[in-house]
Amino acid sequence: MSIKINEATKNRPGGTRVLDAPAVLIHIPHYLDMIRNEKAWQEGDRNGITVFKNEDISVVITMLEKSAKLENVQMKGYASLYLLKGRISMQAGDDTKEAAAGDLMIFHPCINYSIEAMEESSFALTHYCNEADREGEIF
């Protein structure tokens, strides 16, 4: 297995970080601090960073200001959202739920969902996508 790293960018000039390797340690407090100190967070209502990514799984740490919304999101594969801090309202199809820090939500493939932060919130979103999902042959 080869190790996959990202390239430094204008928004994140601090260098490279490992995105995939035989074992990847993700120190979430470090990434939350990084997100909080970036221009996108200071000038906007959201920011996030991909902390793991390969062809089957991606993990993104996201922060939302109070009232920030992610609307009409849809993914081909399953996804899980672990709420690290705050409170959010989530709508999936006709179903609406509120979640608080420590809650875990699971999203089925191809369902439109929306998330609104009821207060400043942070979460880890993991998207699982297998070969059939990538080819559009879900189930």
Tell me, what CATH number does 45's domain have? 2.60.120.10
**pLDDT band at residue 139 using 50, 70 and 90 as cut-offs:** very low
Range of the domain at 104: 33-134
74 assigned to some structural domain = yes
Q: Could you say which DSSP state residue 34 is in?
A: H
In a domain, 127, yes or no: yes
Q: Is residue 94 part of a domain?
A: yes
Mean pLDDT of 8-33: 81
- Residues 132 and 139: their CA atoms lie apart, in Å, by 8
Confidence of residue 119 (pLDDT cuts 50, 70, 90): very high
pLDDT band (50, 70, 90) for residue 9: low
What pLDDT sits at residue 137? Answer: 45
Contact between residue 114 and residue 59 where contact means Cβ atoms under 8 Å apart: no
CB 95 within 8 A of CB 127: no
The number of folded domains in the chain is 1
Tell whether 11 is covered by a domain.
no
Sequence-ordered alpha helix ranges (H) in 1-139: 28-36, 39-43, 131-134
The answer to the question of residue 121 being in a domain is yes
| Residue 13 placed within a domain | no
Kindly indicate the confidence band of residue 28, based on its pLDDT and cuts at 50, 70 and 90: very high
Residue 50 lies in a domain: yes
Whole-angstrom distance, CA of residue 88 vs CA of residue 99: 5
How far apart CA 29 and CA 85 sit, in angstroms, is 11
- % of the chain exceeding 90 in pLDDT: 64
Asked, for residue 62, whether it belongs to a domain, the answer is yes
